[in-house]
């Protein structure tokens, strides 16, 4: 199976420059706009990501962190603000304007190194301003830090691992409580309320953990 290279950009410049050469070398190429890529990166199973970063260094770093949480694929970012990306694991950068031959060489090198690299074990799950430590069960939001109970942790992990997706009551009960009994729905309601108290600025008006009436819940993240 050919390796897939995912190109993320909003204007189509990189795809136009590189797609033909990459296809000739036997790679599959997928192209997504940035917002769509943040939702779909996990589904693509890409071997490498080429990212045309936003103008803002902070926005570029946040995009790379979100992608890093969704995939273990190496990321090559084309950027005007490289300093913001120095400490993000698995991200290398080329400064603009980018030389075509250097970019093609960077792609080959990244794919070669990936074959030798062990699969990275995800330690912290980040979504927007939330960070969930998968080993200690601590949730961090800004300067606030919470130790979650085992069920709160499993529930929030499920939501944060599936941003933008509607998770039904049945799916959640099966995953977190290992039951399909609808009589346990009140327990779910209570745990959702506890989580909202930790992740929402106004728990009574949630913006992250939204209710889908009669169905379940959807976890929203604003890039």
Counting the structural domains of the chain, the total is: 2
Domain boundary among 48, 81, 116: 116
Domain boundary among 116, 135, 163: 116
Q: Is 192 in the same domain as 100?
A: no
Separation of alpha carbons 132 and 140, rounded Å:
6
> 105-134, pLDDT tens digit by residue?
888 888 777 655 545 556 889 898 899 999
Q: Is 149 in the same domain as 213?
A: yes
Nearest to residue 104, comparing CAs of 117, 114, 94? 94
- Structural domain for 13, as ranges: 4-116
Q: Is 129 in the same domain as 212?
A: yes
CA-only gyration radius of the chain, Å = 20
CA dihedral angle for residue 200, residue 204, residue 207, residue 213, rounded to 10 degrees: 130
Is the pLDDT reported for residue 44 higher than 80? Answer: no
Range 23-26 contact pairs with CB under 8 angstroms and sequence separation of 24 or more: 26/2
Please report the pLDDT score of residue 201 as a whole number: 93
| Residue 42's CATH number | 3.40.50.2300
Q: Is 134 in the same domain as 215?
A: yes
Q: Is 129 in the same domain as 84?
A: no
Domain boundary among 91, 116, 141: 116
Q: Is 24 in the same domain as 63?
A: yes
Is 0.85 surpassed by the pTM of this model? no
| Residue 189's CATH number | 1.10.10.10
Q: Is 98 in the same domain as 148?
A: no
- Cβ neighbors of 205 (< 8 A, separation 6 or more) are none
Separation of alpha carbons 124 and 132, rounded Å:
6
Q: At 190, is the pLDDT very low, low, confident or very high (cuts 50, 70, 90)?
A: very high
Helix or strand holding residue 217 (H, E):
strand 216-219
89 with 74: CB under 8 angstroms? no
Q: Is 130 in the same domain as 45?
A: no
Q: At 42, is the pLDDT very low, low, confident or very high (cuts 50, 70, 90)?
A: confident
Is the pLDDT reported for residue 102 higher than 50? Answer: yes
Q: Is 128 in the same domain as 112?
A: no
Q: At 167, is the pLDDT very low, low, confident or very high (cuts 50, 70, 90)?
A: very high
The percentage of the chain sitting over the pLDDT mark of 70, rounded to a whole number, equals 92
Q: Is 77 in the same domain as 164?
A: no
Q: Is 99 in the same domain as 156?
A: no
**DSSP label of 109:** H
Q: Is 65 in the same domain as 157?
A: no
């Amino acid at each position: 199976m050919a390796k897939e290279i995912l190109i993320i950009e909003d204007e189509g410049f990189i795809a136009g420059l590189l797609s033909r050469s990459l296809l000739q070398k036997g790679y599959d190429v997928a192209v997504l706009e940035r917002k769509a890529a943040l939702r779909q990166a996990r589904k693509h199973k890409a071997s490498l990501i080429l990212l045309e970063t936003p103008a803002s260094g902070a926005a570029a770093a946040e995009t790379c962190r979100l992608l890093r949480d969704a995939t273990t694929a190496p990321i090559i970012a084309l950027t005007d603000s490289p300093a913001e990306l120095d400490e993000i694991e698995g991200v290398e950068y080329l400064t603009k304007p980018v030389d075509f031959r250097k970019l093609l060489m960077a792609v080959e090198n990244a794919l070669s190194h990936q074959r030798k690299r062990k699969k990275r074990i995800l330690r912290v799950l980040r979504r927007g301003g939330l960070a969930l430590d998968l080993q200690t069960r601590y949730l961090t939001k800004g300067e606030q830090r919470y130790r979650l109970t085992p069920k709160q942790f499993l529930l929030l992990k499920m939501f944060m691992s599936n941003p933008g997706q509607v998770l039904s009551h049945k799916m959640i009960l099966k995953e977190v409580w290992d039951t399909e009994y609808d009589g346990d729905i009140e327990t779910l309601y209570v745990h959702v309320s506890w989580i909202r108290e930790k992740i929402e600025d106004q728990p009574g008006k949630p913006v992250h953990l939204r209710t889908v009436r009669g169905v379940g819940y959807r976890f929203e993240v604003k890039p």
